[in-house]
Amino acid sequence: MCGRFTLGIDERALKQFIQKVFDIEQSPPNLNVPRYNIAPGQDVLSVISDGTKYRIGPLKWGFVPSFAKDEKSGFKMINAKSETLNERVSYRSSFESKRCVILADGFYEWEKGTSEKQPMHFSMKDSGVFPIAGLWSSFTRTDGTKLYSCTIITCEANRLLGKIHDRMPVILDDSSLKRWLDPTFHDMTFLTQLLKPYDPDLMKMFPVSKLVNQVSNDSIECIKDISES
C-alpha cells in the first residue's frame, strides 16, 4: 500500500532533475512544488513517453480504466499489485503500452501494532527525487472531456520497510527506467521482473508528526524527523 507521498523540492531543482534524467527542456509552467502530503484524488507529477520523447504533466491519482462506467472507480484503484498486473482486466492494456512514472522524494507508511499508528517517512539516503512505477489511462466523460489518471504499482516490501508494512511502491533504478517507459516494448515477463523491492541500503526512514494524517496539512512540518525532538 502506498497512500501518501512527498515531492518536497523547489521548482528550480525539479526542473534540473527533469532535464538531467529525461532530457525535458520545456516543463509545465507550474510544477506545484514543494508538496509534503500528496494524497489519492490529487494530481501527481508524472512522466510518460510516446516512444521518441518524454513528456511531463499531471495525472489524477486513482486509476480509471477507459471502459469504466464512471470515474468513481479511481478511489479504489490508487495502487496496483505488481504480481497481478497481467491478470487484471483493468490494468492489462495500460501495462502493455501506458506505463508511467510518478516523481517523488519520499512516501509515508504507518507503523502497525499500536493503538495510534505512527507515521513513518521513507526516502533515499541522499534525499533525492526517485521515479515510482505506475500505469496511466485515458477516460472519456459523458460530456466529452478527458480524464487522465494513474495508479502506483506496489511490490513486496524490502527489509527496511518490512518492519512497518508488507508492501512498498516500486522504485525504478536508472537501468530499468527507460525500458519501463518505452510504450513500444511489450515483453511482459521482462517488465514484470523490473517490479521488485528497492535496495534497502540506499534508503532511510524516520518517524514524523501525525500532522500527515490530515490531508489538509501540507507543510514542511509533515516531514520533520520527530526522533530528533
Q: How far is CA 16 from the centre of its chain?
A: 20
CATH at residue 42: 3.90.1680.10
At 4-49, the pLDDT tens digits run: 999 999 999 999 999 999 999 888 888 899 999 999 999 999 999 9
H-state helical runs in the chain? 11-22, 89-97, 174-181, 188-194
Which residues form the catalytic set? 2, 109
Residue 154 in contact with residue 167, Cβ under 8 Å? yes
pLDDT for the residue 115:
65
At 54-113, the pLDDT tens digits run: 999 999 999 999 999 999 887 899 999 999 999 999 999 999 999 999 999 999 999 876
At 102-143, the pLDDT tens digits run: 999 999 999 876 667 899 999 999 999 999 999 999 999 999
pLDDT for the residue 114:
60
Integer Cα distance of 37 and 214 in angstroms: 9
Q: How far is CA 114 from the centre of its chain?
A: 27
Domain count for the chain? 1
Percent of the chain whose predicted confidence (pLDDT) is above 70: 98
Q: How far is CA 34 from the centre of its chain?
A: 15
CB atoms within 10 A of CB 210: 15
Residue 131 in contact with residue 172, Cβ under 8 Å? yes
Grid cell, residue 58, equals 499531471
Enclosing domain of residue 190: 5-228
- Please report, as a single letter, which amino acid is at residue 79: N
Query: What residues form DSSP beta bridges with 152?
Result: 79, 134
CA atoms within 13 A on the CB side of 79: 16
List CB contacts of 210: < 8 A, sequence separation 6 or more.
116, 118, 119
